[in-house]
């Protein structure tokens, strides 16, 4: 057993910010299942939303967030996050993040506008904001003496007082698989923070990296934490459509700078779906594209910004320009083929304003958590802002907490398992799960589709759990185990919402209720798929 003051699982912006804000006074274990730079943060192109300009205001950012959230945002949390936005950006600048400058702007930085925003308030580093932020913070994490970086380690499950038969139930540590050696390690800490990101890989088409398998959400659920609003999966409207362009996102900022969506014949269609046209919130744009594709039997639609000066496009979208050019698409002359793809989970583990979960000693931050900020639909570029504000809140809460006692934890028991005989079971189940989730729990849903998905999840869950009980754990098995739990949470929430709201659109219930309510799932003592 190895002891730390804080265990942080995940190395995106939420995990890195938490680690750096705690490391001066705490010994940190930072666990990431691939390398430090893997994860959704480094893929984020657009930027971070914050009130920085004189012609903008906190009230207007709050209003835009509430409007996008379709009545389901927690207004107190929304105000808290927005009011702390400038401080979060100032911290990043102090840490050395090189945002794109603009001497003509009174802030000194170039601000762009994205769908759902009433003002230019997205601070960015060209079109690779997440990567620049991640690289800057990662360098500091690697060199910090109080941070033990554990790459190629994947969390298995939390160790709790209840599991050990203690009188008090709190998070005591966790079991972690070292994927390089195949050994399971036991870590103890009075505080554990889950920052593992989202679950985009539960769908066949996603803008998310391969590591986005819902690990933290499933781990928290199995430990007894409530989970909420998992039906609200944001499908980004514009993922590059090309056989060799795996999960490449075309940032919302392309539309913010004048890009228009067109059919193959060049006809613009968004004004017929919403008066805000291409600058409507993501759920509206994604449904509009889905409608046009299905109506006309199209494989994709096109995003055209070729009417803007070539130098402007190369300066503001260098990553997109270079990647498209590699695939034979010159965005200064050609429209970009795009399709919607699973992008962001608005739901997650229920937390309070300090990022505390239902389990004492356990925190959740970022896409893993359900804070109440996003409601039924996340406003563009609010996600990285949420990561930073709640990472700071969690760090401050941990620093103010009493140091917990270290308890001897049992080692991982492998005495009754063997090496897997046929790993084809894992790849087959993985493929089946992602395909039926795309077909039945996608942008447009029906009761019949959800019931079909629920039935298949139950069968898959039983098969995967049996495999887990009999064979030694591996990275692929753990991810699949977490994905099937996350899929069931999504379907369970969707089946309980008998209306259409935000990102959840049902043909059987096309109208919204007069008042909005969260969908909160409470774990039973024994987990039963579909019966949450």
d(CA 442, CA 267): 26
Q: Are the CB atoms for 397 and 357 separated by under 8 Å?
A: no
Task: With cut-offs at 50, 70 and 90, classify the pLDDT of residue 92.
Answer: very high
Listed residue (91, 147, 151) closest to 123, CA to CA: 91
- Using alpha carbons, select from 388, 377, 395 the residue that is nearest to residue 505: 377
pLDDT digit string, tens, across residues 205-240: 888 888 999 999 999 999 999 999 999 999 989 999
pLDDT of amino acid 446: 95
Please state the rounded mean pLDDT for residues 130-153: 96
- pLDDT at site 243: 84
Identify which of 44-53, 234-243, 269-278, 399-408 has the greatest average pLDDT.
269-278
Residue 251: strand pairing partners: none
β strands within 38-126, DSSP E:
48-49, 111-112, 122-123
Percent of the chain with pLDDT over 70: 98
| 354 pLDDT tier (thresholds 50, 70, 90) | very high
Please write the tens of the pLDDT for every residue from 281-295.
888 899 999 889 988
Count other C-beta atoms under 10 Å from residue 306's C-beta. Answer: 16
Q: Quote the CA–CA distance of 51 and 375 in Å, as a whole number.
A: 20
pLDDT at 312 over 90: yes
Active-site residue set: 282
What's the predicted TM-score (pTM) here? Answer: 0.91
pLDDT at 451 over 70: yes
Whether the CB-CB separation of 338 and 254 falls below 8 Å is answered with no
Q: Which residues contact 12 (CB under 8 A, 6 or more apart)?
A: 39, 40, 41, 42, 134, 195, 197, 366, 387
Cβ(85)–Cβ(389) under 8 Å? Answer: yes
Nearest CA to 370 out of 223, 200, 217 is that of: 217
Per DSSP, the three-state class of 12 is coil
In the numeric block, the tokens 């369970």 are attached to: 492
pLDDT of residue 527: 44
Per DSSP (E only), the strands in 182-243 are 183-188, 191-194, 227-228, 233-240
What is the distance of C-alpha 432 from the center of its chain?
22
Per the listing, tokens 């039926």 go with 436
As a whole number, the mean pLDDT across the chain is 93
User: What is the DSSP track for 405-462?
Assistant: PP---PPP--TT-B--S-THHHHHHHHHHHHHHHHHSSSSB-HHHHHHHHHHHHHHHH
| Listed residue (81, 132, 93, 143) closest to 391, CA to CA | 81
Q: Tokens 């033990």 — which residue?
A: 148
| Secondary structure of 211-231 as H, E, C letters | CCCCHHHHHHHHCCCCEECCC
* Angle separating helix axes 447-470 and 424-440, nearest 10 degrees: 160
- The CA distance from 226 to 359, in Å, is 9
Straight-line distance from the first to the last Cα atom of the chain, in angstroms, rounded to the nearest whole number = 34
| Mean per-residue pLDDT, 26-45 | 87
Region 404-410: mean pLDDT is: 83
Taken in order 458, 463, 468, 473, the sign of the CA dihedral is: negative
Which residue, among 46, 35, 110, has the nearest Cα to 385 in the 3D structure?
A: 46
Mean pLDDT confidence for 113-128: 90
With beta carbons less than 8 A apart as the criterion, state whether 177 and 478 touch.
Answer: yes
Which residue pairs, CB below 8 angstroms and at least 24 apart, start in 520-527? 520/226, 520/227, 520/228, 520/350, 521/221, 521/226, 521/227, 521/228, 521/230, 521/489, 521/492, 521/493, 522/226, 523/221, 523/222, 523/224, 523/225, 523/226, 523/227, 527/221, 527/222, 527/485
- pLDDT at 531 (0 to 100): 39
| pLDDT at position 386 over 60 | yes
Quick one: pLDDT band at residue 419, thresholds 50, 70, 90?
confident
| CATH 3.90.700.10 corresponds to the domain 238-343 | yes
Give me the CATH code for the 424-509 domain, please: 1.20.58.100
Domain boundaries, the chain: 238-343, 424-509
Percent of the chain with pLDDT over 90: 81
pLDDT of 529 strictly over 70: no
Question: 323: exposed, middle or buried (C-beta count within 10 Å: 0-12, 13-18, 19+)?
Answer: middle
Q: Which of 357, 338, 359 is nearest to 348 (CA)?
A: 357
For 40-44, 318-322, 335-339, which range has the lowest pLDDT when averaged over its residues? 40-44
**Residues shown for the chain:** 532
Q: What is the mean pLDDT of residues 233-251?
A: 88
Tokens of 268: 């613009």
Average pLDDT over residues 346-355: 98
Q: What is the mean pLDDT of residues 342-350?
A: 96
Mean pLDDT of 19-38: 95
Q: Are strands 191-194 and 6-9 parallel, antiparallel or unpaired?
A: parallel
Q: Nearest 5°: phi and psi at 231?
A: -70, -20
Q: What are phi and psi of 172, to 5 degrees?
A: -110, -15
Integer Cα distance of 161 and 169 in angstroms = 4
CA 78 to mean position of chain CA atoms: 18
């Amino acid at each position: 057993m190895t002891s730390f003051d804080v265990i942080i699982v995940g190395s995106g912006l939420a995990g890195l910010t938490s680690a750096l804000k705690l490391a001066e006074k705490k010994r940190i274990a930072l666990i990431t299942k691939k390398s430090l730079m893997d994860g959704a943060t480094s893929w984020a192109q657009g930027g971070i939303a914050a009130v920085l300009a004189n012609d903008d205001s906190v009230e207007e950012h709050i209003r835009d967030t509430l409007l996008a959230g379709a009545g389901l945002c927690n207004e107190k949390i929304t105000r808290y996050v927005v009011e702390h936005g400038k401080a979060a950006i100032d911290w990043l600048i102090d840490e050395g993040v090189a945002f794109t400058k603009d001497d003509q702007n009174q802030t000194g930085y170039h601000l762009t506008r994205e769908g759902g925003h009433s003002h230019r308030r997205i601070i960015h580093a060209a079109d690779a904001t997440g990567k620049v932020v991640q690289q800057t913070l990662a360098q500091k994490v690697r060199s910090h003496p109080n941070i033990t970086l554990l790459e190629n380690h994947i969390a298995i499950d939390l160790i709790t007082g209840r599991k050990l038969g203690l009188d008090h139930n709190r998070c005591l540590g966790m079991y972690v698989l070292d994927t390089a050696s195949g050994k399971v390690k036991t870590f103890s800490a009075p505080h554990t923070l889950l920052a593992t990101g989202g679950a985009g890989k539960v769908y066949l088409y996603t803008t998310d990296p391969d590591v986005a398998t819902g690990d933290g959400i499933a781990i928290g659920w199995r430990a007894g934490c409530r989970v909420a609003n998992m039906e609200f999966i944001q499908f980004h409207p514009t993922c590059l459509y090309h056989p060799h362009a795996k999960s490449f996102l075309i940032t919302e900022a392309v539309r913010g700078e004048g890009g228009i969506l067109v059919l193959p014949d060049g006809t613009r269609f968004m004004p017929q779906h919403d008066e805000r046209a291409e600058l409507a919130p993501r759920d509206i744009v994604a449904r509009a594209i889905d409608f046009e594709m299905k109506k006309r039997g199209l494989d994709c639609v096109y995003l055209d910004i070729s009417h803007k000066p070539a130098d402007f496009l190369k300066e503001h979208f260098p990553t997109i320009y270079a990647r498209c050019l590699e695939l034979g698409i010159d965005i200064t002359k050609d429209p970009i083929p795009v399709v919607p793809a699973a992008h962001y989970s608005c739901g997650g583990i229920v937390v309070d304003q300090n990022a505390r979960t239902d389990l004492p000693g356990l925190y959740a931050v970022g896409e893993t958590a359900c804070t109440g900020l996003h409601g039924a639909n996340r406003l563009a570029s609010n996600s990285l802002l949420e990561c930073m504000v709640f990472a700071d809140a969690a760090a401050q809460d941990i620093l103010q907490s009493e140091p917990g006692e270290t308890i001897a934890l049992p080692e991982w028991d492998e005495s009754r398992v063997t090496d897997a005989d046929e790993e084809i079971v894992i790849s087959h189940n993985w493929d089946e799960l992602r395909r039926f989730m795309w077909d039945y729990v996608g942008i447009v849903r029906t009761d019949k589709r959800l019931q079909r998905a629920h039935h298949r999840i139950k069968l898959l869950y039983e098969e995967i759990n049996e495999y887990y009980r009999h064979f030694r754990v591996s990275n692929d098995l753990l991810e699949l185990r977490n994905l099937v739990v996350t899929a069931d949470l999504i379907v369970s929430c969707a089946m309980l919402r008998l209306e259409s709201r935000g990102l959840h659109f049902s043909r059987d219930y096309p109208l919204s209720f007069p008042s909005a309510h969260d969908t909160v799932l409470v774990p039973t003592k024994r987990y039963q798929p579909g019966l949450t």
